[in-house]
Structure 1
Amino acid sequence: MSPETVAALTLAGFPAYFVPRRWGGTEGDFATLLAAVAEVGEACASAAWCAGLWAAHSRFGAYLPLEGQRDLWGVSPNVRISTGLAPHRARAARTANGDWSVSGEWDCVSGIDSAQWVLLAATVSEGAEEQGAVRVFAVPYADVEVVDSWRSTGLCGTGSNSVVLQPTSVPGRRSFALADMLAGRAGEGASRCHAVPAQLVGGLIFSAPAVGAARAALHAWTGWAAPKAAESDAASRGPLNRCLARSSAEIEAAVLMLAEAARRADAEPVTRLGVARNHRDAAVVADLLVTAVERLFRTGGLHARDGEGTLQRCWRDVHTVASHAVLQFEEAAAHYAGAALTP
């Protein structure tokens, strides 16, 4: 993304959205965030993706001890944070003074070139009590090496490159257990936005950019179809009518599902079934949007294949969003069935 876009997203308040109020943050709700991310996505799904993740990552940062939070937000809450939470090629070991030595490689670190801090997950390789556990470490952007590896067909502007960290000393105050974040164990007195399991809200934030991209695709398709319909008789307008009605309804249904899932995340008691339901609905939202945009793309005439066209860009972006592991329906279905069929 251009520096101007990064500055605009920061000024709009996305990086500070879930920052604790003690540091000047918003501690916002999920419904407002998802609507804002979707709105940004109507112009650029890549910008929306980074906006939503910068907000989500400030929520993760709130799991740090207070002194670690101060390192991030002591000067300003408007700090852009990227994450690498797949610890497969990363290791951490306690040092003699109680700090950590962390090293590794992480792929698909979205927005990394515009980040100021990075949260990196690593498996503890030494120490009887924590060996094998996964911890998250806050590392300044200046400490990591960015590898230009992002070659995706969609979400091209997210710059989701790889990150390498040579053995680096990380103070103990800049670390927390990944399991606490996944389970929503934020500690006594934590705000609602911090004390929810990751699976209750993660898929919602991932799918919101696709809502905006689908709306943009519908708008582009309608601009192409309107004059075509005006020149056609009633019989030949049938395919256009069916495509418009079906795809617009699927997009609106996805919006309604996402809004209801956000309401549950903001207000309902957190239950195993509720978490599984939101996971399920985020995957269904992604499927609805792919189906709707695929139909628009296939009926959109030659202009839809134009590499510079809005419809093709949105088609690529929606498919790329839907390919994220969190939005795969098979896993979401198993999660939901496991909760719904358990007495």
Structure 2
Amino acid sequence: MTLTSVSPDHRLDVTELVDRAARYAAEVDGSRRLRRESVAALVEAEFPRHFVPSRWGGAAGGFAPLVEAAITVGESCPSTAWCATLFAAHGRIAAYLPEQAREEIWGSGPDTLISASVMPPSGRATPVPGGWLLRGEWGRASGVDFADWVLLASTVPDGDGETVRIFAVPSGDFVVEDTWQAAGMRGTGTNTVVLCDTFVPEHRTVALPELLGTRSARQARCHNVPYTLVAAVMFAAPLVGAALGAVAECVSTRAARLSPDPDARQALARSSPEASAARLLLREAADRADRGMVDARTVAQNRCDAAAAAELCVSAVDRLFAACGGHGLAEDDPVQRRWRDVHTGAGHGALRFAPAADAYAKALLGLG
């Protein structure tokens, strides 16, 4: 299917955010959450409004500018880049909600911070007059400590079967439990959301299948492509930044450590083009999302390219971490931190290479 509505080329000015990300990278890794200064800077850089519909003052921007900005920020602090990217991505999901909910979320401005826990669906949603009662726990909601709203997914009855619905819940209606104890991406504060029979009106819900197809051509391009075309691409962008940052760290402050060892220099020479190749893969995937034909093959290709980019990042940081030897074993070592971040981010289900590669090969071979 050819989509002709192309998003505006909204650019995100990340200059101040990069400075703060670099300044606080070690601190946020230790505290397991971003500093408020960094959150303020990502708002100033206009990440939260990047995909917000223009009707509410948003940019309805493209995927290529977001990916490039996320990579740039990720070179300094992958956790900051991860949260910034997801605040943007969750605004895109919220744009599928009914208009009354969008008015509630963005009526006072487009810079609302939205966290989410939608995969896998969790908790229990019980239909009641006028809406739903939500109860349960939803894990891994990045940046939720700073969120104004959270999007939560649950499996619900649908005729003779089931479907998944996404529910928008304001910050006063949920509790955050501090559960994020991961090896990497520590600063993302990817904690758990808890609800106990919280009422969500019908107008604050949307069925997940609506995100998986295309919509009316009257919609902005960014709101008219399937979730599966772009999700993995956005998840991979901070990892590419982390790998490029590890290369840059070895080139600058670690030059004296690496230069006497030819094996270490070869590791740097191999890892640098791997990280650059990952960046090129994401740039092409983002451009397809902004301007290309949307069909099953393109969706499979974008998903596979993003997973391949993540694998390249893993390979690059593994080699650099090994090349650092004993110098890289300190917990606050900047290369080790990026090594932990890349491995943690690459563990996301959207970036698993085997299923992505199988789906793409089937699409190429016309196997359904």
**What TM-score results when the alignment is normalised by the length of structure 2?**
0.87
Kindly indicate whether residue 191 of structure 2 is the aligned counterpart of residue 178 of structure 1: no
Other-structure match for 1:320: 344
> Whole-Å Cα distance in 1 between the matches of residues 231 and 258 of structure 2?
40
Aligned partner letter, 2:326: L
> Whole-Å Cα distance in 2 between the matches of residues 169 and 175 of structure 1?
11
> Whole-Å Cα distance in 1 between the matches of residues 172 and 160 of structure 2?
28
What is the DSSP-based 3-state SS (H/G/I as helix, E as strand, rest coil) of the residue aligned with 2:331? coil
Other-structure match for 2:132: 100
Q: For the Cα contact (< 8 Å) 1:184–1:194, is it kept in 2?
A: no
Kindly indicate whether residue 170 of structure 2 is the aligned counterpart of residue 140 of structure 1: yes
Distance 1:86 1:289, change over 3 A: closer
Instruction: Select 1:151's aligned residue among 175, 181, 203.
Output: 181
> How do 1:261-280 residues align onto structure 2 when only pairs under 5 Å count?
261-280=285-304
> How do 1:195-274 residues align onto structure 2 when only pairs under 5 Å count?
195-228=224-257, 232=260, 237-274=261-298
> Whole-Å Cα distance in 2 between the matches of residues 229 and 133 of structure 1?
54
What is the DSSP-based 3-state SS (H/G/I as helix, E as strand, rest coil) of the residue aligned with 2:100? helix
Other-structure match for 1:45: 78
> Whole-Å Cα distance in 2 between the matches of residues 342 and 213 of structure 1?
36
Aligned partner letter, 2:205: S
Structure 1 residue 11, shift from structure 2 partner: 1.1
What is the DSSP-based 3-state SS (H/G/I as helix, E as strand, rest coil) of the residue aligned with 1:25? coil
Q: For the Cα contact (< 8 Å) 1:224–1:300, is it kept in 2?
A: no
Larger Rg: 1
Kindly indicate whether residue 194 of structure 2 is the aligned counterpart of residue 161 of structure 1: no
CA deviations over 1:196-225 (Å, ceiling 9, x no partner): 111111111111111111111112222355
Aligned-pair identity in percent equals: 46
Q: For the Cα contact (< 8 Å) 1:257–1:281, is it kept in 2?
A: yes
Aligned residue pairs, count: 334
Structure 1 residue 229, shift from structure 2 partner: 6.1
What is the DSSP-based 3-state SS (H/G/I as helix, E as strand, rest coil) of the residue aligned with 1:132? strand
> Whole-Å Cα distance in 1 between the matches of residues 162 and 184 of structure 2?
35
Structure 1 residue 94, shift from structure 2 partner: 2.6
Name segments (4+ residues, structure 1) moved above 6 Å: none
What is the DSSP-based 3-state SS (H/G/I as helix, E as strand, rest coil) of the residue aligned with 2:168? strand
Distance 1:87 1:221, change over 3 A: closer
What is the DSSP-based 3-state SS (H/G/I as helix, E as strand, rest coil) of the residue aligned with 2:137? strand
Distance 1:229 1:122, change over 3 A: closer
> How do 1:4-153 residues align onto structure 2 when only pairs under 5 Å count?
4-86=37-119, 88-96=121-129, 98-125=130-157, 129=159, 132-153=162-183
CA deviations over 1:65-102 (Å, ceiling 9, x no partner): 11110010001100010111135432223322x32222
Aligned partner letter, 1:45: P
Structure 1 residue 288, shift from structure 2 partner: 0.4
What is the DSSP-based 3-state SS (H/G/I as helix, E as strand, rest coil) of the residue aligned with 2:218? coil
238-247 vs 167-176, which moves further: 238-247
Instruction: Select 1:304's aligned residue among 309, 320, 328.
Output: 328
Structure 1 residue 168, shift from structure 2 partner: 1.5
What is the DSSP-based 3-state SS (H/G/I as helix, E as strand, rest coil) of the residue aligned with 2:162? coil
Q: For the Cα contact (< 8 Å) 1:63–1:186, is it kept in 2?
A: no
> Whole-Å Cα distance in 2 between the matches of residues 137 and 310 of structure 1?
38
**What TM-score results when the alignment is normalised by the length of structure 1?**
0.93
What is the DSSP-based 3-state SS (H/G/I as helix, E as strand, rest coil) of the residue aligned with 2:153? strand
Unaligned ranges ≥5, structure 2: 1-33
> Whole-Å Cα distance in 1 between the matches of residues 92 and 365 of structure 2?
31
Instruction: Select 2:358's aligned residue among 314, 329, 334.
Output: 334
Aligned partner letter, 2:290: D
Structure 1 residue 193, shift from structure 2 partner: 0.4
What is the RMSD of the two structures over their aligned residues, measured on CA atoms?
1.6
